[in-house]
Chains A and B, each alone.
Chain A
């Protein structure tokens, strides 16, 4: 995952921010327990959103307590007292980030590729363990990565190109619930969010891909692309997708953390989107606008 799905800190209350950090710490801790320290380095903000969603939908109460983090032992941090509910999210996170590493090994060049290669070797056992715990998701991730690679050979439309990531995210979110009604909403939410993430990554890499000749669904194969116009088009697609995501989210029965989740979807994602589609604007201006 890419870390586009994150909070807009300025708009959170202190308490919500503290809770958000607590959720991150809990997920990190569980990942460490299950898959070791290297796996912890691969955690992303996107997965923190998934963890928050898991806790928000769960019937069990969430209790935070203070604890110390081995990486930053001076500061005390909140952490879920019973963070075992996040085990599934830790498994998902590992499967997805491993898939992404494989993708990097296949696509990237230079030191980035070697780094990813070393990590895939290091995490091979961990990935096998996660695949035993979530066999369906592991199969979906593998299938989607293959579909993605095939799609990039054929100059696909934005929708077709985003389909694999979208389906993968939908499969992941659907696995958070066992209620059929909730699963339908999560499927739509996940599909739109995954599509948004993929398109964000594509919009972010427009210039890089145009220079290197890599596949990008927003590029139309011209000699000298008109980047502002392409970004404008991308912004429309991204907005439509994010609005669709929020409409789906509105139908969930959220027990807690609604403020955090709404902040992420309505403000954090929108601010990130603004950063990507208007690179000429300064970060501060964007924060002012999104209020």
Chain B
């Protein structure tokens, strides 16, 4: 007998759409743009500001002229097309001077060398950035190869008097195709083998960029071989740390004192080499990349050692690390660059003619390493003590514990900070303008503006250079996010 309160549902209700004000764009706008009087007001002000900026900048951007030979011609074309008083960007300058922004005053017939070095850099980076990932390694190598070959072809087409104009040009292009095809095959079959290229790349890159006698980079590599030999011979008696120190000292003696005599002698016996390019001729993004990439690659290991040194139990090592870090962080980068261009010469043995770019790289590396050391120290401090104890209890020695347990975790924690430092360092390379090098932002722009035909150009170079810097820095930032995601291990 059913009571009055009984209820039985006969038809089940189908789900319905939420009301219009609760879905899609309307809901989003209500919640994010117009959630109250203040936010409504700010939204209107914001939209107005964006509108005004676009209104004043858009015509300038859209009226841009790509084909002209001078600033005056640009202005004439804009006036003719859009009427008197119209503004327009003069991108023709970029079209005309792009090679200076990329290569500075590098000899035009040798543009293939920095292009090749740039392409190979990505191949050398692939196994480091995407360790153990065969597909990405191979793709990155192949893409770098294709782009490099296209760039080589493009450069040759733009400068017909260069190497491509001759028969040798065709051969060089063919050689590049073979090199990159070979590297792609290596990346596919044995991605770890690419690390050999990574290790050799500093010498290859150096030789491609500066050229000269082949014995120079060979001698520099021999220094590393000497380091390895001394280390292996003395490791058993002296222990890892002292043996490394001894190796470094002997290698330094070789590099600074002996090497030039030996390579000089070898060169007189067997003069192998290509055209030498002087550091004065470097400029533009070539310079920014040479300084930036070298300093980034060198400052990470140095930063790690400094961070470990700062936490060391050994008072001398600790004092040296703290002193170095605090001194470098306390001094403006500009001061260091002036030191590089003027003072460093005094501290080096007489007649050792240290290249200015090399000196700048060394000091930029020191500068960046000090910051990286502090970032990594933060990561080290975040590791629980139990991790060190577990490593100790298992019988791992100090360096094994650091390499296998501590650093992988500390570096992972420090990735955002480290990449921030790297991005800052890369942008700081523009400061080398102050010691007379032709960085893309200041140095090359000054040269371009000094030319009669581009007198009066203002925004275009900065926008062009800014966009390239943005692309580089944004890629680094995205890579760091990728790495963080990839190394995420706590699935809680």
Task: Say whether A associates with B.
Answer: no
